[in-house]
Chain A
Amino acid sequence: MTLAALLQPRLLSLRNVVRRDRLRAVTVTGLVGLFWLACFLLFTRVLGYFHGLGTFGPFLTQRLLALLFLTFFGVLLVSNTVTALTTYYLAAEVTPLLAAPLSYRRLHHARFLETVVASSWMVLLVGLPALLAYGVVYRAGPLFYAGALAVLLAFLVIPAAVGVLITTGLVLVFPARGTRDALMVGVGLAVAALVVAIRFLRPERLADPSALVGFASFLGAFGATGSPYLPTTWAAETLLPLLGARPGEPLFYFGMLASTAAMLFLTSAAVVERVFLIAWSRAQTGHVRAGAAERPLSRWLAVLVRPLQGPSGCLFAKDVTVFLRDASQWSQLLLVSALVGIYLYNFSALPLGDGTPLALAMRDLATILNLGLGAFVTTAVAVRFVFPMVSLEGHAWWILRTAPVPLAQLWWSKFWIGYLPLVVFAELLVATTNGLLHVPSLVTVAFLLTLVPLMAAVVSLGLAFGAAYPRLDTQNAAQIATGFGAILYMLACLALIALVVALEAWPVSRLLWQARSIAGVAATRTAALLALAAVTGGGTSLGAFWVAKRSGLRALARLGGT
């Protein structure tokens, strides 16, 4: 069996998906294209800015190239390790391949290619426009572009091979599912730490040339100057001379990169060939922990849900149990916590305190936008936790559909589980950020009132889109949250939030103006403005909630079961 034949099912599946749903294919391609273009323009602009900073600029862009490769390497290493665990040891399609007259080496090659593609596409999405931008800014010749492609290919192989070796070692020692869960939480922690670290670098300092020296010294401390033993340094040292940035020995460094990639690929093939069956067998064995004993979580939840009547209690206990035992949800919680921390930090760092008319106008604008931003941050949380709710029922949906529980009750159960934490989250977020902005309490009250129906609509939309675009084939919430339906859900929420903010902008701006007014303002006028804000924003949200609930119930009814 050739490698091409082994890859055929994946390629044919992709072709069939494109043929059957052209609209989705076109939308996704369009969005990816836009993202790619935006990355290219951003990199070109930033690099062009640095490049124009005299003698110091090119030094900085060279350091940034090394930092770029270092970041990619870290991301790829983690991503390949997690992906290899699935593609080599947990994927269902490995079973027929094992039963086929196929050597382990060939199986490794096919799985390796799949691992590289699944792990590296995101890096390519950012890396290719970045390298292209370098070429444009430095007016590089065709040799640079050919070299960049060759460097990227060799560069992608190295973390993939290391990832396969790490995964195989872990599976040989620990149960596969435990390894996957630990890796997922580890990845969440690493990404959260990276995001926080990047934010605390205060990249806004880059706009100020006088701060660039400090930034460059930071890059040196961060390791971007590069150890000569790292593939990231070899990649950068290959490309910089090809860019014409400075003289060097590109052939030598490319030779280092390519030979290391080849050596690691062959090593991973040899190791997998030798131990694959042992590792695979271990990965299929479950990890027995509790035996006949009941788990503590189960006991506590049984007490907690006792006041809830009927099936609501058992639905709540089930959803909470499944959530808490799902490592992918923990990983997402870590990431969301980091993003919220950054969001709050950004507000505390806003330079709005000098009391000038411009600063006051900026504060008013920030206040009005804060309602939208707070709601949108909460939507970003909802896309990770509410949108996947229906999909996470997975193929076990039949259990709920064949039970004597009305569909509406199932919907309400999911709604409350999503709504209560999210509305509390949104209220706290907006109240805290309004506090940081020193917003008058009346406006904060108007915002908090607006969020009650707005969050209901956001959750209702999440359930509707989640049921209309279910992904029953995956149990990874993070994966579900990146699908086509999730993108549409985000867009729908964005439109709703923008509409609500636009409707409330006028009454809120009047309230802000009144709060600053020296002359007293009639209480009736204030009450009227508050009522206007609540009726326009709240009414729109309730309408969206109702429409989404109806569509959600219809989509759930169509869902059937396995």
Chain B
Amino acid sequence: MIRLERLQKTYGALVAVDDLSLEVEPGCVFGFLGRNGAGKTTTIRMMVGLLEPTAGTAVLGGHDIRRAPEAAKAVTGYLPDHPFLYDKLTALEFLRFVGGLYGLGGAEAGRRARLLLEEFGLGRMAGELTETLSQGMRQRLALAAALVHRPRVLVLDEPMVGLDPEGALELRHLVRRLAGDGVTIFLSTHSLAGIVDRGRLVIVGTLDDLRARAGSNDGSSPSLETVFLDILHAGGDGRA
């Protein structure tokens, strides 16, 4: 459902993303873990069409983002790390607007908007300007916007940022539910499995694969953060 093919981004001599290839099957949740500045957000911005790759491409739902950007975007929902919204639109207007951009008719966009606002606990703020919402509420609203057109691929960049513990827990449940419904989810996070370092994919595999690769042979179950640091310090460079 998601395929990155030799994706590369350079800024002069600086290589932000270096020959990154990976594939995510339908209904999978793919965690994209890396240090600050490792190239996670650059990769995601190339995937969703916000940044032109220097080389390579991303294929979302069978559509190449470079050759058929509209088709690829139509099946994708995206939540950026710092989702800026239109301050002068109300929460309801904002969701209806995004629905319209993704081809939903006026009535359908309105229905979906109301439904998602209730689902994300924003129903009573539907008529408020987004500039008056708290950061957590804005994060929820942006997430609702990413889902308004029922995407088959969901790309989330640091989705936990700005959420309270309850919101973070709800997001985990939502991610599981969506994956259960067949939505493919690609999320980058500091708090959570492919690991990217200095623009190169260091390792990719299941959580158990990563733990095994990190050399946890004593039967204990190390935290993902520990696994992450162990792999980076070991300078891993292959696929699990």
Contact = CB atoms under 8 A, between A and B. Distances in A.
B89 A318 contact: yes
A484 to B, nearest CB: 23
A118 B141 CA distance: 35
B193 interface: no
Given A290-B127, A398-B84, A321 B101 contact: no
A306 B124 contact: no
B49 A298 contact: no
Interface string A286-298: 1111111111001
A247 B62 CA distance: 88
Interface string A266-298: 000000000000000000001111111111001
A177 B110 CA distance: 28
B106 A400 contact: no
Contacts of B198: none
Main secondary structure of the interface of A (DSSP, over half): loop
Given A290-B127, A402-B50, A562 B87 contact: no
Nearest to A326: B88
A289 B69 CA distance: 39
A293 B106 CA distance: 17
Interface in B102-153: 102-103, 106, 109-110, 123-129, 131-133, 145
A344 interface: no
Contacts of A318: 86, 89, 93, 97
B63 to A, nearest CB: 10
Interface in B67-84: 69-74, 76, 78, 80, 82-84
B45 interface: yes
A404 B86 CA distance: 19
Contacts of B131: 177, 286
Given A396-B86, A562-B82, A294 B127 contact: yes
Given A318-B89, A562-B80, A402 B100 contact: no
B70 A292 contact: no
B12 to A, nearest CB: 15
B207 interface: no
Interface string A305-322: 110001101110110011
A560 B51 contact: yes
Contact of B88 (A305, A321, A560): A321
Nearest to A286: B132
A286 B128 contact: yes
B85 interface: yes
A100 B217 CA distance: 47
B128 A290 contact: yes
B128 A314 contact: no
B170 to A, nearest CB: 20
Contacts of A291: 124-128
A143 to B, nearest CB: 52
A321 B93 contact: yes
A134 B71 CA distance: 68
Given A291-B127, A562-B82, A317 B97 contact: yes
Q: Which of A292, A399, A404 gathers most chain B CB within 10 Å?
A: A404
A315 B93 CA distance: 11
B21 interface: no
A286 B98 contact: no
B211 interface: no
Interface string B39-80: 000000100111110000000000000000111111010101
B104 to A, nearest CB: 9
Interface in A332-369: none
Given A298-B92, A314-B101, A401 B49 contact: yes
B100 A313 contact: yes
A369 B99 CA distance: 48
A404 B123 contact: no
A302 B101 contact: no
B201 to A, nearest CB: 23
B48 A402 contact: yes
Contacts of A306: 106
B236 to A, nearest CB: 31
A241 B69 CA distance: 73
Contact of B106 (A287, A302, A557): A302
A398 B50 contact: yes
A298 B133 CA distance: 19
Contacts of A557: 52
B51 A311 contact: no
B45 A560 contact: yes
Nearest to A312: B100
A312 B93 CA distance: 15
A310 to B, nearest CB: 7
Interface of A: 177, 286-295, 298, 302, 305-306, 310-311, 313-315, 317-318, 321-322, 325-326, 394-396, 398-406, 475, 557, 560-562
14 contacts: A291-B126, A291-B128, A292-B127, A294-B90, A295-B90, A302-B106, A311-B100, A313-B106, A314-B100, A321-B89, A399-B86, A399-B145, A402-B76, A404-B69
Nearest 10 interchain pairs by C-beta: A314-B100, A286-B132, A290-B127, A395-B84, A403-B101, A404-B74, A325-B88, A404-B73, A404-B70, A561-B50
Given A314-B100, A475-B87, A562-B80, 20 more contacts: A177-B131, A286-B131, A286-B133, A289-B128, A292-B124, A294-B126, A295-B93, A305-B106, A313-B106, A314-B96, A314-B97, A314-B109, A317-B93, A325-B88, A395-B84, A398-B50, A401-B49, A404-B71, A406-B70, A560-B50
